[in-house]
Structure formats: structure tokens, C-alpha cells
Structure 1
Amino acid sequence: MRITIIGLGLVAMSDALSLGRLHDVTVTGPVPDRIEAINRGEFPLQDPALAGYLAEHPVRVRATVNTIAALEQAELVLVASPLRQDPVTGQVDTIELESRIEFAHTMCPGVPIVIRSAVPIGFTARLQQRLDSQWLICAPEFRREGAALQDALNPARLVIGDRGRLGTRVGRVLASAALNPAVTLRQIGPSEAEAVRHAEQAYFAARVAYFNELDSYAMAHGLDARQVIDGVCLDPRIGRSANNPCFGFGGQLMSRSTRQLVDATASVPVHILPGIDEANAVRSSALAASVLQRAPRRVGMYRPGHSAPMTQLADRLRAAGTEILSWDGEPATLDAFKADCDVVIAQRAVPELADLGGKLFCRDHFAA
């Protein structure tokens, strides 16, 4: 099958690589440098599974900045454009996404167009009506940042926002990308599918916030947080997933979905959802206070990849007059970075920080 993917981000790349094992895939977007890299076989995707997957599975993926050429003879179009969000209001801007969908709709009459972006609830139904299109459906993605390819190859489930034959057809194509042939497929309404995606992310945000608050309580009262968490997670209804405290649910996925659900439920008497973001902010304040108790002159932020919770924590420490250094992943500078800092903050207790001893500030209770 000839598949065109509009987008060059995390979702688009993981879709292209997983589908490109069995299909002819063309990706398109307005970033020439990234297009050239893809055509050289250098895929802009941070995932530890990438090198091994490409070594074992040749993929048929090409890239072009020419969207018209990319859509020629396409038998299926996936649209996975990033969505901009106002940092103050939390409102999602869908104008660019809509223009790309409308263009594909005009260029490819009778070809299924699948929305993979995390659109607001009700977006697909409104656009179907406006375009008078029976070929537009949504199929939300469920990818973790840093493990997008792994999740594309081993999905726990596929949710398709169409109950009819078109949804079945699209579901089969997306399922073909999985290495696991027994993928659970659910066909539901478009708005319900959009809601599932956001509700799942918001649930995990609430779970992360809960264990973070439990850890903050243990810090304040001198309790062994791991012992408490281990005891709580013995209950099979709770389980052990996503129970290791961290600095917050950063990135874009959880916070955006939580914001969208809060907006969508504005007229409903809900209490948990609006409190999740507040819990995240309180966690940053508690961690900053704990670091400042050590009276450090210079604090190092160990973050090989960008981490939104660490940015929030760094801002709070900087506001208190603490000098902040960041290490972004350059191996040659790591030793000097560790030596220059009075305290080094890290989300996880990785082996390369083991020599720091008491200089390391990390709330990782389940380090391997």
C-alpha cells in the first residue's frame, strides 16, 4: 500500500518506520534539513530501539518537501502535525492542522485521511461536517516520549474513531505495523476516541502526581518512601506501573491532555482534573525547598534530554539566587560538570552519577 504521512515529528516518524516495514511510505513536511536526513536513512527519532530495528528490518520510507507530489497516488493519508498550545490559556491551535487536512481532502478524493494528532474532543466530527467528508476519521496515538517506535511496534491496543467498514480497513493497516499480531482493536465514535486518548494521559498524570505527593510526604516526615510505595502497590488493583517518584509529569502529552479535559469539562462539577496541574506545581516547590536546605552555591541539572519538570525546578532555584548549570549529554564535559556543582539533580539514578554520593539529589527509589 502507498501511504503518505503529513508531519515530521515523533508520531509521524514512528508511524513511518513501523509501517515502512511492509508498505511504501512517503513523509512530507516543510523542514528541508530533516527531509534530507530521512532520505539519507538518518531518522530524527530518539528511541533506544531504533538502531536495532533498522538493522533487522529494511524500511521503504522516503521524504519530500513537496506535499503535492507526496499525495500523488496515495492510498492512505495519515496527518500527524504537532499542535501549538497557548502557554497561558492552554487553548490548542488547530488552524495549521486543519489546513493540511483540507489540502489532503482536496488532493485525494475518496482516499481515507486519518488524524493522528491529539486534537480537542469533537474536532473530527466538526471537520467531517464542514468538509462533508465520509473519508476523514481519527485514530489517536498512544506513544510515550522517548519510546515512540517501541510503542508503534508493540501497541497494547488500537483505537479507531469509526465504527464502520472504513474504520475496520484503517485499523487493519495500522495493525500491520505491529510486530505483535494479536493487537486489541476497538472501533468507537470519533469524539469518544479523542476522549479516550486525553483521558488516558490525564489518568497517568494523576497517578504520577499521586506518587510524587506520597514521596513529598515521606520526605517531610522522614519516612522511607520506597517502603511505603511498595506496600501500597501490593494491592493488585493498584499494581506497580508508573509508581517511581519523579520531578513531575513534564513534556507535552500529559499536561496537554489534562488541560484539554479540564476545558472540556468546564460545565461539569469535576474536582480531580483541575487539581492535577496544581499538584505538579506544588511538587516542584517541595523539591526546590529540599535542595535549598543544602545551601548550594551551584546546582547542576543532569538532563541528557529536555525535561519540563526539571526546567520548572531550575526556575524556582534560580529565583532563589542559586546558580544553575545544565548538562545536555556531551560525554566529554560530564566529569567537569559533576566537579563544578555542589548538588547535581537527576530524574533517575543512572550509573554515570554513582560517584557523586551525597551530592546527588534524586527521588528515584527503584533504580536498577
Structure 2
Amino acid sequence: MKIAVAGTGYVGLSVALLLAQHNEVHALDIVPEKVSMLGKAISPIVDKEISDFLQANVSGDRPLNFQPTLDPAQAYTGAEYAIIATPTNYDPKKNYFDTSSVEAAIEAVRRYAPEAWIVIKSTIPVGYTQQLQERLRDSRILFSPEFLREGHALFDNLHPSRIVVGAPQDDEQAVAAAHTFAELLVQGADPQEMRRVNPDGTTGIPELVVGLTEAEAIKLFANTYLALRVAYFNELDTYAESRCLDTQSIINGVCLDPRIRSDYNNPSFGYGGYCLPKDTKQLLANYDKVPQNLIGAIVEANRTRKDFIADEIIDRVADIKNPVIGIYRLTMKSGSDNFRQSAIQGVMKRIKAKGLTVIVYEPTLNTPDFFGSKVIRDLTQFKRESDIVVANRWNDDLGDISGKVFTRDLFRCD
């Protein structure tokens, strides 16, 4: 089967490689450099499994029918399924995701493949796909949320917790196409997953074909719950720090409860990254005229946490004349190349607003400064020039200066 994928970010590239094990997959992007790298079997994003897949394809150990391209005609002509995985950033002025890239991709698909089933995998507002179907008078549009971690996108596709596809439940053709797409994803997953036992006693990968809007809601509510977990344990840490208590002891005791467990319990400077900040805000916007307290509190709690962390850092350098505060890495978490909405940037902005000098250690940046703060790529120089080093996530490279490192990474994990 020929399948086209629009977008080669974490979502698009990982699903393209997954499906290319058993199908002819054309991965379309508008950035020539990314397509060129993929053509040379080099991953444009940090993800070990993706890199391994590309190299295994070259060596012949895992043959893939995978063709990166800049040409929409090549990608879409003859495709039975076209997957849209283009970026949808949250627009705070409109309280809405910017879905222009999704609609541009759909227009291009229809130019070359008027009968293809389109599957949106970009994150979108609740109710968007149904509205789009009605506005475009196009009933062959489905929605399938992704549940991927940065740096482990392909691994999570190979070992999915569940597969969800949204289709109008009164449209037999659409429901059948949704089931077919779900089976394509199952076919590409690790065969071991078919033998796993789920908490409800079933075996294999759970497949849910639900309504379009329900599928969209599953995505936003799942990510907002994860944000809630992060915010909850961050507020626990804020309380313990303010009362001079041992945060780690409290978290360990709380998480021994089997109903709570130890997922997403490691304190940080706040939740960040591609998904959680924008998804929580979009879900809150979707609550217009619907009673709520909790969703808004999650968004506000993340701001409060950054305020607290910034104040803690400022307090620790209060006795130093003209202190230099070093920011160790701008990435959202270890093993990621993503700066977007990283919590440490929010902390950095609050510190700079107080007139303090901030320098940044970020070896992946090739610019001399980052929003006016000097960028240093030599770690030894960075350590020497910093009076305090602020690290959202610990790294053993900081072991020799542990006495001047500020972090809340108690469990040394993401």
C-alpha cells in the first residue's frame, strides 16, 4: 500500500518509518536540509531508535520502503492513506492551535489524491476534524492521536500503549478505513506486543475506533492529566522546600500507594516541551462556557512553579555582588533537542527581569547569544564563569561543581 506522510518531525518521521516496514511510504517535508539528511540515512531529530532504523535500512538488516521527498506530487499521487503530521503551535492571542499547516497539507493531498483517506496526527482542538469535514465537504478525513515521548518517538510507536482512531460512527466506510489504519499501525509494531497482557486481562495492543471528537478529546485530556501529575509533585516539592522538609522522602512514601505509583513524580522547574504546555492551554480554551476549576489550575500552577524556582535562585545569590547565573542546557529534558516551551527558559526570563546576569551553556546553539544572554559552548569556561549553575535535569558532567548547582531533579530521571 502506498502511504504519504506530511511532516518529518517526531510524529511524522516515527510513524513513516514504522509503516515503511510493510508499505511504500513517501515522507514529505518543506525543509530541503531535513530531506537531504534523511536521504543520507541521517536522522534530523534526536531519537536513537530512528537513527538505528535508518542505519539498519542502509545495511539491509531492516529493509524499509521509505522515500523522503520535497515533491507533493510524488508523495500524494496514488496514495491510499495520507497522514498529516505538521506542527500546530498554540496561538495565545486566539486561544487556539494554529492549524494552517494542516489545512495546507489537506489541500495539497486533494490536489493529487482526491480519494485518499486523510489521517490527521497533528494535535488539534476538540471538534476541529468534524468542523473541517463539514466546511470542506470531505468525509474522508480521520483523526488519530499520537502518544509519544520526545527522544523515544519510534520506540513508543513500536510499543504503543493503545491505538486510537477517530471516525464518524454513522459512516460505515469511514469506520472501516479507521480499522484498516489501526491494523497498519499494529502490523508495524514489535510482534512481542501482541503477547502482552493488559491491565484489563486482554492481550495485544488495545485498538479503539471512536468518534472524531472523542479521539481529539482523548489526546488533550491524556496530556493534561500528565501535566497535572507534573504540577502536583512540583507543588509538593514547593511545599517541602518552603517548610524545610525532605521532598524525596515524602514522594517515596506517597508513591508506594499502588493507586498513585511513581510515574511523573520527579520534581522539575515545570512541565514543558512540544505537547503539555500547548495541549493544556487548548483544552482550557475548549472549556469555554463549560464549568471547570481544575484545568485552569493546572495551567496556573505551572506559572507559579516557575515563579517559585526563580525566587529560590535569586535568593541563593543575594549575598554575591553582581552574580552570574549559569543556565545549563535549554532543552526540555535529557535526551531531547527540543527547546520549545522548556521550563528553564521561563525561569531564565524571570531571573533576567530582575536585572541579573545570565549566561547559557548550550553546545547545540551556534549563535553568540540567546535572547541577549551570552552562549558558552565550552563547559569548563561555563563552570568557571558561573556563580551558580541552574539545571532542570542533572548531568554527571556537573559532578565536580555539585556544590553550586541548583536543581530539583531528585530522582535523576525524566
Category of TM-score, reference length = shorter chain: over 0.9
What residue identity is the alignment partner of 1:217? Y
| Correspondent of 1:333 among 378, 381, 385 | 378
Equivalent pairs counted in the alignment come to 368
1:154 maps to which residue? Answer: 159
Answer with 6-15 or 93-102: which moved more: 93-102
The answer on whether the counterparts of 2:4 and 2:75 sit within 8 Å (CA) in structure 1 is: yes
**What TM-score results when the alignment is normalised by the length of structure 2?**
0.85
The answer on whether the counterparts of 1:121 and 1:191 sit within 8 Å (CA) in structure 2 is: yes
Tell whether 2:194 aligns with 1:172.
no
The answer on whether the counterparts of 1:7 and 1:81 sit within 8 Å (CA) in structure 2 is: yes
**How far apart are residue 130 of structure 1 and its match?**
2.6
Q: Distance in 2 between matches of 1:58 and 1:351?
A: 37
2:298 maps to which residue? Answer: 276
Give per-residue Cα distances to partners, 1:17-39, cap 9 Å, x unaligned: 22222222111122112111111
**How far apart are residue 89 of structure 1 and its match?**
4.2
| Correspondent of 2:353 among 304, 311, 319 | 319
| Correspondent of 2:244 among 222, 242, 250 | 222
Give the match's secondary structure for 1:78. strand
Seen in structure 2, the aligned counterparts of structure 1 residues 120 and 40 have a Cα distance that, compared at 3 Å, is same
Give the match's secondary structure for 2:26. strand
**How far apart are residue 304 of structure 1 and its match?**
5.9
Tell whether 2:26 aligns with 1:26.
yes
Give per-residue Cα distances to partners, 1:38-87, cap 9 Å, x unaligned: 11111212113333344443433222211122112212110111113223
2:200 maps to which residue? Answer: none
Seen in structure 2, the aligned counterparts of structure 1 residues 132 and 90 have a Cα distance that, compared at 3 Å, is closer
Seen in structure 2, the aligned counterparts of structure 1 residues 332 and 29 have a Cα distance that, compared at 3 Å, is closer
The answer on whether the counterparts of 1:18 and 1:149 sit within 8 Å (CA) in structure 2 is: yes
**How far apart are residue 339 of structure 1 and its match?**
1.6
1:205 maps to which residue? Answer: 227
Q: Distance in 2 between matches of 1:304 and 1:264?
A: 30
Q: Distance in 1 between matches of 2:86 and 2:245?
A: 45
The answer on whether the counterparts of 1:105 and 1:113 sit within 8 Å (CA) in structure 2 is: no
Answer with 212-221 or 247-256: which moved more: 247-256
The answer on whether the counterparts of 1:121 and 1:195 sit within 8 Å (CA) in structure 2 is: yes
Give per-residue Cα distances to partners, 1:339-368, cap 9 Å, x unaligned: 211111112222111111211111011127
**How far apart are residue 12 of structure 1 and its match?**
0.8
Structure 1 residues not aligned, in runs of 5+: none
2:392 maps to which residue? Answer: 347
What residue identity is the alignment partner of 2:401? L
Give per-residue Cα distances to partners, 1:158-189, cap 9 Å, x unaligned: 10102521111111112222113322111100
1:84 maps to which residue? Answer: 89
What residue identity is the alignment partner of 1:336? Q
Q: Distance in 2 between matches of 1:208 and 1:264?
A: 21
What residue identity is the alignment partner of 2:107? E
Give the match's secondary structure for 1:364. coil
2:334 maps to which residue? Answer: none
Tell whether 2:43 aligns with 1:43.
yes
**What TM-score results when the alignment is normalised by the length of structure 1?**
0.95
Q: Distance in 2 between matches of 1:55 and 1:70?
A: 23
2:64 maps to which residue? Answer: 59
**How far apart are residue 246 of structure 1 and its match?**
0.5
Give per-residue Cα distances to partners, 1:261-309, cap 9 Å, x unaligned: 1111121110010111211111111111111122151111111632621
1:366 maps to which residue? Answer: 411
The answer on whether the counterparts of 1:29 and 1:64 sit within 8 Å (CA) in structure 2 is: yes
1:13 maps to which residue? Answer: 13
What residue identity is the alignment partner of 2:349? D
Q: Distance in 1 between matches of 2:403 and 2:107?
A: 57
Tell whether 2:107 aligns with 1:111.
no
Give the match's secondary structure for 1:293. helix
Q: Distance in 2 between matches of 1:16 and 1:197?
A: 20
2:329 maps to which residue? Answer: 303
Structure 2 residues not aligned, in runs of 5+: 57-61, 170-174, 195-203, 332-338, 365-375
1:211-250 pair list within 5 angstroms: 211-250=233-272
Output the aligned Cα RMSD. 1.8
Give the match's secondary structure for 2:16. helix
Give the match's secondary structure for 2:393. coil
Give the match's secondary structure for 1:250. coil
The answer on whether the counterparts of 1:112 and 1:137 sit within 8 Å (CA) in structure 2 is: yes
**How far apart are residue 95 of structure 1 and its match?**
2.6
Give per-residue Cα distances to partners, 1:293-346, cap 9 Å, x unaligned: 221511111116326210010011111222111111369711211121111111
Give per-residue Cα distances to partners, 1:236-262, cap 9 Å, x unaligned: 111100000011111231111111111
Q: Distance in 2 between matches of 1:286 and 1:130?
A: 46
Q: Distance in 2 between matches of 1:345 and 1:6?
A: 38
